[in-house]
Amino acid sequence: MTKNAFRNGLRKSTWLLLAVMFLVGSGFVFAQSSATVTIASGEVIAGDRFAGGQVITNEGTIKGDFFFWGQTITSKGIVAGDAIGMGQDVNLSGEVMGNVRAGGGTVALGSKVGKNVNTAGGVIRITDDSEIGGNLIAFGGQITINGKVKGNTLVGGGNITLNGEFFGDVSINDFGIDESKVQKDDNASLKVLPGTIIHGKLRFRGGSAEIDKGAQINDFQWIKSKITPQERQKHEVSKYIWKFVRLLFTTAVYFLLGLLLFKLFPGIIARTAEFTARKPWNSIGYGLIAFISMFAAFIACIILLVMSLLMSPAFGLIFGVAATAFYIVLFYLAGIPAAIWLGGLIGNKNTNPAFRFAIGLVILNFGLFILDVLGKVPTVGPIFPVCGSIIRFGAAMLGAGALLYAIRQIYLATKEGEVQ
C-alpha cells in the first residue's frame, strides 16, 4: 500500500468515525422530547428508542435498546436490548433482556433482567419480583435488595437492607482496596432480614450490622470502623470550613471569568441564554451529544496516534491536544449558561444576563454545597450527595449543549454571509 493510499484510507475512516459519532449523538436531539412520551400496550418498536420528557411510559415492546431521560420514567413493557438512562423517578417493572444502566433520585427495579444491572440513586429498591441474570452494582443512600441475583453483588451506600437470594458473593462498601491504605471511617449500616440466602461470601465495611438468625449466609466478614465519633465530627467540621472558604474563592473567580466572556463573546452568551430559556430539553440533548462524542473522540485520538506513526506523528498529537482542549473548555464553561438559565427561573428572564448569571451561580454553587453538608444527616443523608451529582451532571449537559448550539448558529450565520 502506498503512502497516499494509506492517507486516503485514513481520511475515509476518520470521516466514517465522525459520521457515526454524529448519528449516535443525534439520536438524543431528534428523539421524542415532548412533555409526555408514551409507548402504548401492543405497540412494537423495531429498533432502538430514544425518549426524553417529563413523563415517559413504556407498556409496549422495544426490540432494541431503550434510552431515556426525564422526570418520571415507567417501563412495564418488554425491552429486548438494554435499558439506559436517568430520571427523578425511575420504575422498571417490565422485562429487560439485556443490561440495565439507570440512575435517578429514586430507582425501583421489579423486573426480570437478562444480564447485568448498574444503578445509582438516592433510594434504590430491588423488589421481590426481580430476577437479575448477571451481576448487580448499586450505589445510593438507601438500598433495599430483594428478589434474586444470579451473579455477584457490589453495593456502596449508607443504609443497606438485604432480603433476597444471592448466588454469588456480596460486597458492601468494600471495593478490593488494600486494608493498610484505607482509613476505616465508614458509618454505614447493614440489615439482613430473615429468609435471605447468600450462597457466596458476604463482606461488609461499616459501623453497624444486624444479621437475623433466619438468614442463611455461607460466610460473613465485617470490617468495623476504628475512628471514634468525636474524631470523625472534628474532622468533618474542619473539612467543611475549608470547603466553604474554597467555594467563596472559586465562585468569585468563575464570576469574573463569566463577565470577561460577556465582553469578549456577547453573541454566544446571548444565544445560549435564549436557547436554554426557550428549549432546555433540547439544550440537554446537545450536551449529551458532546458527552458521547467525547468518548468517541478519545478513541479516535488513540487510533490517529497509532496510525500517524506511519505518516507524521505531529498530526495525531495535534488532533489529540486540540480535542482534549476543546472538551475541557466546553465543560468548564458549561456552568455559565446553566447559571444564566437558573437565574432566569428565579428572577426575571428579561434582566441582564450578567445579573442572571450572578444569581444562578450563587444558588447553584451554594445549593450544591448545602446538599453536600446534608449528606452527613443520619439515615437519609446519603440521598443528598446523589441528588447533587445528578444536578451537576444536568447542569453540565444543559450548559455544554447551549454552548454547542450557539457556536453552531454563529458558524452558520458567518458561512451564509460569506456565500452571499
pLDDT in tens, 120-166: 888 899 998 899 999 999 888 889 999 999 999 999 888 899 999 99
4 vs 361, residue with greater confidence: 361
- Cell numbers for 209: 450490622
Q: How confident is the model at residue 311 (pLDDT cuts 50, 70, 90)?
A: low
Which residues make Cβ contacts (< 8 Å) with residue 105, sequence separation at least 6?
A: 87, 88, 89, 121, 122, 123, 383, 386, 387, 390
For the ranges 32-41, 216-225, 317-326, the maximum mean pLDDT occurs at 216-225
pLDDT in tens, 112-121: 999 999 988 8
Determine the distance from the C-alpha atom of residue 393 to the mean position of all C-alpha atoms in its chain, rounded to a whole number. Answer: 6
Mean pLDDT on 40-55? 87
Backbone angles phi, psi at 384, to 5 degrees: -65, -45
CB atoms within 10 A of CB 10: 17
**H helix or E strand, kind and range, residue 220:** strand 216-224
Domain ranges for the chain: 232-419
Prediction pTM value? 0.54
State the pLDDT at residue 177. 52
